[in-house]
Amino acid sequence: MTGFIHKSTISNLLTIPVGVAYIKKLDTMKYTLKLLTLLLIILAGCTSAPALPAPTATKQNILFKNTVVSLTFDDGDADNYLVRSSLTENNLRATFYIVSGFTNSNGYMSDEQLRDLYNDGNEIGGHTLSHTKLLEVRGAELKREICQDRSNLLAYGFEVNSFAYPFGYYDDEAKQAVVDCGYGNARAVSGGPETFQPADAYGLRAMPYIVSDTRFPKMTRYVTEVENDGGGWVIFVFHHVCDGCDQYAIKPETFFKFAEWLGEQQSNGLVVKTVGQMMGGK
Ligand SMILES: [Zn+2]
């Protein structure tokens, strides 16, 4: 439509001046009026017609309707404390599974650092007394690994409802010990994403380990793919936070970038919660 007006106007502009010399003054005025009217139409058309292109949806604009992310850290490594400010700055809360027998020793967080994380709103969970493979201990020793660990963490003043199996190993006896020691849930290390009504609260399914060569785009893809597949609960498992100190490590800058992305996505509907919050605890 706009194109048509422009085209006819241009032909008028070209032909009118040629004819003007041969017609009377009155006709000239009529033509001038016609020309002015046409110019007004052009101006009106040109100022309103070519609208800016509509904003197109980008990856950044994905709307999350049904996806929850939980960030979990295993072992209580000293370098985990590095993520503290990036969590608070991006309004994120994580779950830290602590091997309380290692707390305050070289390479592990102190109970003061755990308290800082806890006071920020993060969750402290249990991960046994000495990071034992639970299939290799039975009876009283199995109970001690799980129950004494929880007692230690309770003694620090934390509410402790969530547990993670060291190396992801568990069987019915180990699971029963976790229940008997007073835990409300336990996380495994594979099988994710989890559903919002987990089939087994003592076998929560997590995404594949984040390892030293897990890149930022892959981490965001874990989240967006779950949303695109109808939603679910995406539980990430981190260990060390360092640049190459361990096979199961994420580079600090990669985590910071991911935390920033998660922080931004919260305004697009993404929900980030601790495991305890998801399972009805604190
Ligand atoms: Zn572990």
Domain map of the chain by residue range? 2-48, 63-278
Distance 108 CA to ligand 1 centre (A): 12
Residue-wise burial string across 181-198, b where 16 or more C-beta atoms lie within 10 A, e elsewhere = bebbbbbbbebbbbeeeb
Domain at 63-278: CATH code:
3.20.20.370
Per-residue pLDDT, averaged over 252-265, amounts to: 97
pLDDT digits (tens, 9 = 90+) for 4-55: 444 444 444 444 444 444 444 545 545 555 555 544 444 444 444 444 444 4
Cβ atoms within 10 A of the Cβ of 147, count? Answer: 20
Distance from the alpha carbon of residue 75 to the mean position of ligand 1, in angstroms: 5
Contact 194, 278 (CB under 8 A): no
As a whole-number percent, the residues of the chain with pLDDT over 90 amount to 73
> What confidence tens digit (pLDDT) does each residue in 230-250 have?
999 999 999 999 998 999 999
Report the separation in Å between the CA atom of 246 and the middle of ligand 1, taken as the mean of its atom positions.
13
**Chain-centre distance for alpha carbon 64:** 10
Cα-to-centroid distance, 95 and ligand 1 (Å): 13
Ligand 1 centre to CA of 128 (Å) is 9
CA of 109 to the centre of ligand 1 (A): 14
Beta bridge pairs of residue 194: 233
For residue 24, report the distance from its CA to the centre of ligand 1, in Å: 99
Pair 5, 42: CB distance under 8 Å:
yes
Q: Is the pLDDT of residue 263 over 80?
A: yes
Q: Residue 211: what pLDDT? A: 85
| Structural element, H or E, at residue 185 | strand 185-191
DSSP code at position 110: -
CA of 140 to the centre of ligand 1 (A): 21
